[in-house]
Structure 1
Amino acid sequence: MATKSSLRSKWDEFVDSSTATAVELSNTNQMSTGVRNVVGWLKQASLEVQHASLRTLSTMTDQISGTTPPLIILHFNDVYNVEPRDQEPCGGASRFSTMIKSFAQQQPMILFSGDVFSPSILSTFTKGEQMSKVLNELGTQCAVFGNHEFDFGLEVLSERVSETNFPWLMSNVVDNETGRPLGDGKITHVLDWHNKRIGLVGLVEREWLDTLATIDPEEVTFIDFVQAGRSLGKQLKEDGCDYVIALTHMRMPNDIKLAENVEEIDLILGGHDHNYDVREINGRQIIKSGTDFREFSKITIDLDEPNNPIEIKRIEVTKDIEEDDTMKKILDSYLGTIEGKMTEVLGTFSVELDGRFSQIRTAETNLGNWVCDVLLAATGADLVILNSGTFRSDRIHPPGDFTLGDLVNIVPMQDPTIVILVTGQQILEALENSVCKFPKTEGRFPQVSGISFGFYPEAEPGNRIEPDLVRIGDEYLVPDQTYKLATKCYLHNGCDGYTMLKNSPVIVNEEECPELGLAVQNHFSAIQMRQGKSRRLSKHRQSLVTLSRRHSLVKSMEGNEWEGGPSPLRRGSLTSASLSIHHHGYSHSPSPPSSAHHFHHHHHKINRRASFDDLEQQTCQLSPKVQNRIVRLTPQLKQEMLIDRQRLEDESVIQEVDELNNSPQGSFDHS
C-alpha cells in the first residue's frame, strides 16, 4: 500500500477500516442498504477531500509570507422570479447582477444556498432552464440543493446541473439507486483563497426531504446533518482547510442546532427561510440572505486573526440600480419563448374532459376527478377538496393530445397547495359550504378525491349533507377523527366560504407542496417514465396511484393488514442512517423473520407489486371517469346507500372475528 500523504487524515484510516468491515458484512448478506450507502458516502467524501488536497498542493507555489487579504463572500438564497416587483427593494435578476458585478475587483467568493429552478411562471414553461444561465452569469462558485431543485424530477435536475459551471452539494442524502448523493451532487468542495483553503459542505433537513413528490422515499438514505457536518468538517480541517462553511437549506431551528453541536463548522450560510436574518450561536454566525434577488449578504472574514473576525453587510437591490445589459439579454431571450411552449404535448387522453362551468360547478366531472386524483397521489393525503372555481377553461376538451396550452387554460400555473389536518366535523362543514349555493354555478362547489358524499339539493343550505354517507377512502367519516386534507392555500385562507379550514394545523406548507400545475406536469412526466419513454429510468418519480387506492387494493388482497405499506404522505419508509461504527461492525436491523413467514409475505408482496403495476397502467391510459363521488340524494337513494353501508359494516365485523379466531392470540390449547 502506498505511503499516506502527510495531509491524509485519521478519518481516512477510519474509512478504510470501516470499509473492510463493510465488505465482511456484505459477504455475509448482513449489511443493510442504509449501511451500504453510508459506507459509500464515507469513501466518496474521503476521496473528494483527498483530491482537493492534491489539486491545491499541485497548484501552490512558494509565496513570500505575508498577510492574507480578507475573504469576501457574496451570499444569496431562494431566488425564483427574475422580474422585479413594484415595492422596494424591487429586486430583479438584472439589477441583482449589476450589484454582484460591482464587487468584481475584490474577487469575491459567490455562494448560493438553494431553491432556484422553481417555482415561477417562467419556470413552468422552461423547467428552470433560464436560471442555470442566471447563476452562471452571476459567477456562482458553489451551491447546495434546495427542495425546489427537485420539483421537475431528477431527469430535469440533471440537465439543469449540467448547464451550470460550478459544483452542487448534497452532503447528507444518498440516492440508493446510484449510491451517490441525491441529484448527483458532491459531498464536499474546496475553494482556494490566496494561500488559504476554504472547505464547503451542503446540508439539508429531513423535514422537506420527506415531502418531495418526485423522489421515492424508499430509495433515499438520510444522514443526520449534525453527524454529517461534524464528520465532514473534521475531515476537511484535518486535510488542511483553514475555514469550513456549511451551505444549508434548512429552517432556522435546524441551523441553530447545527451551530450548537458542530464546532468543526465555522460559518453557516442558510436558505429555505425567505426573511433576512443573522444570528450568532456559540460564536458562529448563521446568515439567511433574503429571497428573490431583493437582497444579498456581503461577508468579510479576516482569516489571519484569531477567531476569524467577521463583518456582515446586508445589501438591498433597489430601483435606482441600473440593469445589467448582459443579464437582461439572457432573460429577454427566455421571456419570448413562452408562446412557443404552449404547443408542447404533455400526454394523450382517450376520453373528452368536461370543464364546462355548467357542469363542473354543479356536479362531479371527469376533469375534476382527474386533477384531484393527481394532487392526492402527489401529496399522499387522505383526501382532496378543490373549489371548482379552480378550473378556468369552461369548455369540453376533446380526446387526443393534451398540450401545455390546454393545462394553462384549465388551471392557474401558480396555484399553491397545502396539506392540513382537519377533523371529520370540519370536513362536514366544508362540504355543507361547498353545496350551499347549489344550483347556482358558484366556484365554491367542490371537486374531490379520496372522499365521496351525498347531498340533498332541495334542503335548506347548511343541512344538505347526509353525514352517514360520507366516506373517506374505504371508511365512513368519523366526526372526531382527524384526516389529512390536501387543498389550495386559497381555501385554507378561508376564501369561497371555507372559513372552517382557516385555523387548521399545517402538515405540509405551500413551500413544500407542489403547485397544482406543477403536480399535473409531473404526473405526465411520471407516465412517460413508467412507459419507458423517458431518457432516465428511475424509481424517483411522482406517484401515479393515490394512497387510498393502494389501501383499497391491499384490503381486497389481505384483509385489513398491510405490513410494510406506505404511511400517510408516502414518507414513512425513508431510510435514516447513523455514522456510528462499533469495533465489532455496524449495528443493523433485527434478524429476518422465519423462512416460512418470509415466503408468505414475499408472495403477497409480489402480488401487491403486480396489482400496483396494474393500477399504474390504468392511470397511464388517461381515461378519467365520473365515479359517483358526489351524489344528489333522493329518499329512495338514501335508503339504498344506508343499506349498503350496513352490509359493509356487517362484513367488516365478520372479517375481524375471523381474523381474531385465526390469530395466535385467538387460539387456545385444550390439551
Structure 2
Amino acid sequence: MNGNVIITILETSDVHGNVLPINYGNNEHSELGLAKIATLINKERKENQSMILIDNGDLLQGTPLTYHYIHSRSSEMNPMIKLLNELQYDAAVLGNHEFNYGMDILNQAVRDSHFPWLSANIIDSKTGEPYFGKPYDIKVMDQGVKVAILGVTTHYIPNWENPNNIKGLGFEDALETTKMWVRKIREIEKPDVLVVAYHGGFESDLETGEPTETLTGENQGYRICKEIEGIDVLLTGHQHRSLASAVNGIAIVQPSFNGQAIGKISIRLSNEQGSWIIAEKKAELLQVEDVKTDEKCKKLVEEYEKQTQIWLDKPMGKLIGDMTISDPFKARLQDNSLVEFINKVQMDVANVSISNTALFNNLSKGFPENITMRDIVSNYIYPNTLKVIRITGQDMKEALERCASYFILNNGEIGVNPAFTTPKPQHYNYDMWEGIEYTLDITKSVGSRVTKLNVKGEAVDLGKEYDVVMNNYRAGGGGDYMMFKDKPVIKDIPLDMSEVIANYILEKGTIEATVNHNWKVVW
C-alpha cells in the first residue's frame, strides 16, 4: 500500500440550463456553459485517476434551451441529463429550481439519469423516507480509499415553489438532517473522506461569523461547518457566489453560476499504520474563460438548440412607442413602460386591478418595435406562474416598505442597498406596483418611507382587504415578503408568465408603450 493517495472532487452548481457559450438575448458569445466545463472535466479526468464529479443543483431550469425542451413536450431525453450522463457524473443533488416544472418532468429526469440523485432531507410525506432514493452514496477509490457523499437541499423551497409542484413532499431542516446523517455515516460506513453536497449557501461571513442576511434557514452553510463534526468537504451553491476556502477546517467551494466555473477540491491522504489520514486539502475554482467548447457536448444538444433558435425568432407582435431599458437603476426610481406593461398583462389575465412585478436583473433591455419570443424570455427570465392573493392595506404598506429598503442614501446620493447586491444580486426582490398610487421617500428612515399610498385617489384603508396579482415566488413570501405568506389564494394561474405575455401580445397584434406615473421614488 503506497503512502499517499490524491482524491479530486469536482463540483458544478447552478448551471441553470446553460450548455453553449451564448447569450440567448442576442446570440452573442458568452464565457459560460456546460460545454466549456466539459473540456475542464475531461482534462481533470485525464490527470487524476481518482476523481469524483458531482452536480449540486439548479441544473434543469434557466435558459430558453431548457424552457423550450419542457414546453415542446419532447419525447427526447432532457438535454441536461443527456450531458451529465455523457460526462459520467457520479451523483447529483436537487436544487430549488429543479421543482419549477413539476414532479412529472423531475421524476423523468431522475429516471433517465445514469447516476444517483442524493436527497437526504426531501422526504416522501407518506413514508418519511428520502423521496428521490439515496440520502448518500459511497465511492471506493484508488487503494480502497472510501469516500461518502451526502446530498442535502435548502429546506426553504416551500416558501417559493408552487404547491402543486411539490405535492407529497416534505422538506426537513437541512442542518439537522445533515447532523443526523453525518453521525450515521461515520458510525456505519466509517469513510476515509466525508463530503456534504448542499444546495444552499452561507448565511454568515466566513471569517467573522457575522450574519450576512436574515436568518430564515434558507442558507445554513456556516452553521453546518461550525456545528457538525465529521465533515471534510462542503460543496455549496444556490447563492451564485465564487468561493474556494476553508471554514472550521472544512474545505468549501461554490462555483459561481451559469457554468462560469467548476469547483475543485484536492485531498491528499497518507497511510498511517493501516489507516488513511487526510494530510492536506486544497479548494480552488477553475474558470471557463478562454476554454474551448467540447465538440461532443455541442453535438449532443445540436437538434435541441436548432429548435430553440427557431422558436426564439418567432414573431409575436409589434410595439408602438418606447419600451426599452437603457438604465436599470433609473427604471427602478420612476415608473417605466416595460414594468407597467408586465403589470397590465398580469392584471388582464387575473382580472384584478392591482399588480406588482420586478425588473429581475440588470440585463433586461426591454422590447424592440418587432417583438419575438427571444425578447420575451430575455426580459421575463423565470418560469413563474401567477397568483391572486387577498391582502390588507397594512400588508400592502409593509410590502412597499420592504421595496423602499432597496435604496440607500450616501451623502445625498441615492444607491442600491448592499443587502440587495451582496453576497448575491437580488434586484428581483424590489417590486413596482400598478393599480395604486404611491411615493417612497428615501430621506426617511427604513420602515417609514411610504409617504403616499392611495387607491383610486383615496388613501388606502389599512384594515381593508385588496386582491393583488403577483408571481408565485412573491405570493409565497419569497424575498422576505412574509406579509404575503399564507394569505388566501383567490385565483391560481398555472400558465408560465412568458407564455402569458406571448399570448397577450399575439392576441393584441400591436401593443403600446404607456407610462402613467402612478409611483415615484424621492430623495
How does the TM-score come out when normalised to structure 1?
0.48
- Cα distance 1:275–1:616, how it changes in 2: closer, same or farther (>3 A)? closer
Instruction: Give the one of 448, 465, 470 matched to 1:475.
Output: 465
Rg comparison, structure with higher value: 1
Q: 1:284-433 residue pairs with structure 2 within 5 A?
A: 284-304=250-270, 306-319=277-290, 321-338=291-308, 368-371=346-349, 383-385=355-357, 408=373, 411-412=376-377, 414-416=379-381, 423=397
Q: 1:411-560 residue pairs with structure 2 within 5 A?
A: 411-412=376-377, 414-416=379-381, 423=397, 466-468=456-458, 475=465, 486=470, 508-509=478-479
Q: Does 1:125 align with 2:68?
A: yes
Question: In the alignment, which residue of structure 2 is the partner of 1:569?
Answer: 485
Q: Distance in 2 between matches of 1:618 and 1:335?
A: 26
- Confirm or deny: 8 A CA contact 1:383 1:472 kept in the other structure: no
Question: In the alignment, which residue of structure 1 is the partner of 2:137?
Answer: 189
Q: Does 1:82 align with 2:19?
A: yes
Q: In the TM superposition, what whole-angstrom CA distance separates every residue of 1:533-560 from its partner, at most 9, and x where no partner exists?
A: xxxxxxxxxxxxxxxxxxxxxxxxxxxx
Q: Distance in 2 between matches of 1:271 and 1:126?
A: 24
SS of equivalent residue, structure 1 residue 264: coil
Q: Does 1:252 align with 2:202?
A: yes
Give ranges in structure 1 of 5+ residues lacking alignment.
Answer: 1-64, 345-353, 377-381, 396-405, 431-447, 456-461, 478-483, 493-505, 514-565, 573-607, 625-671
SS of equivalent residue, structure 1 residue 312: strand
SS of equivalent residue, structure 1 residue 313: strand
Q: In the TM superposition, what whole-angstrom CA distance separates every residue of 1:86-127 from its partner, at most 9, and x where no partner exists?
A: 999923332221121012232311112111111112111013
- Cα distance 1:413–1:308, how it changes in 2: closer, same or farther (>3 A)? same
Query: Which amino acid in structure 2 is aligned with residue 312 of structure 1?
Result: A
- Confirm or deny: 8 A CA contact 2:119 2:134 kept in the other structure: yes
Q: Does 1:145 align with 2:94?
A: yes
SS of equivalent residue, structure 2 residue 106: helix
Q: In the TM superposition, what whole-angstrom CA distance separates every residue of 1:119-149 from its partner, at most 9, and x where no partner exists?
A: 1121110139221122222221111111111
**Farther-moved stretch of structure 1 (307-316 vs 85-94):** 85-94
Question: In the alignment, which residue of structure 1 is the partner of 2:212?
Answer: none
Q: Distance in 2 between matches of 1:471 and 1:408?
A: 41
Q: Does 1:91 align with 2:41?
A: no
- Cα distance 1:134–1:304, how it changes in 2: closer, same or farther (>3 A)? same
Q: Distance in 1 between matches of 2:465 and 2:155?
A: 31
Q: What is the count of residue pairs matched by the alignment?
A: 390
Give the structure with the higher percent helix. Answer: 1
- Cα distance 1:463–1:239, how it changes in 2: closer, same or farther (>3 A)? closer
Query: Which amino acid in structure 2 is aligned with residue 329 of structure 1?
Result: K
Question: In the alignment, which residue of structure 1 is the partner of 2:420?
Answer: none
Q: Distance in 2 between matches of 1:92 and 1:411?
A: 22
- Cα distance 1:615–1:316, how it changes in 2: closer, same or farther (>3 A)? closer
- Confirm or deny: 8 A CA contact 1:393 1:409 kept in the other structure: no
Q: Distance in 2 between matches of 1:140 and 1:131?
A: 12
Instruction: Give the one of 70, 73, 89 matched to 2:9.
Output: 73
Q: Does 1:158 align with 2:158?
A: no
- Cα distance 1:274–1:186, how it changes in 2: closer, same or farther (>3 A)? same
Q: 1:24-43 residue pairs with structure 2 within 5 A?
A: none
Offset of 1:407 from its aligned partner?
9.8
Over the aligned positions, Cα root-mean-square deviation in angstroms equals 5.2
Q: Distance in 2 between matches of 1:239 and 1:486?
A: 48
- Cα distance 1:223–1:340, how it changes in 2: closer, same or farther (>3 A)? same
- Cα distance 1:277–1:372, how it changes in 2: closer, same or farther (>3 A)? farther
- Cα distance 1:617–1:285, how it changes in 2: closer, same or farther (>3 A)? closer
Query: Which amino acid in structure 1 is aligned with residue 83 of structure 2?
Result: V
Give the structure with the higher percent strand. Answer: 2
Q: Distance in 1 between matches of 2:106 and 2:29?
A: 32
Q: Distance in 2 between matches of 1:169 and 1:369?
A: 41
- Confirm or deny: 8 A CA contact 1:269 1:286 kept in the other structure: yes
Query: Which amino acid in structure 2 is aligned with residue 122 of structure 1?
Result: L
Offset of 1:180 from its aligned partner?
4.1
Q: In the TM superposition, what whole-angstrom CA distance separates every residue of 1:438-473 from its partner, at most 9, and x where no partner exists?
A: xxxxxxxxxx99985699xxxxxx999644275799
- Cα distance 1:474–1:233, how it changes in 2: closer, same or farther (>3 A)? same
Query: Which amino acid in structure 2 is aligned with residue 262 of structure 1?
Result: I
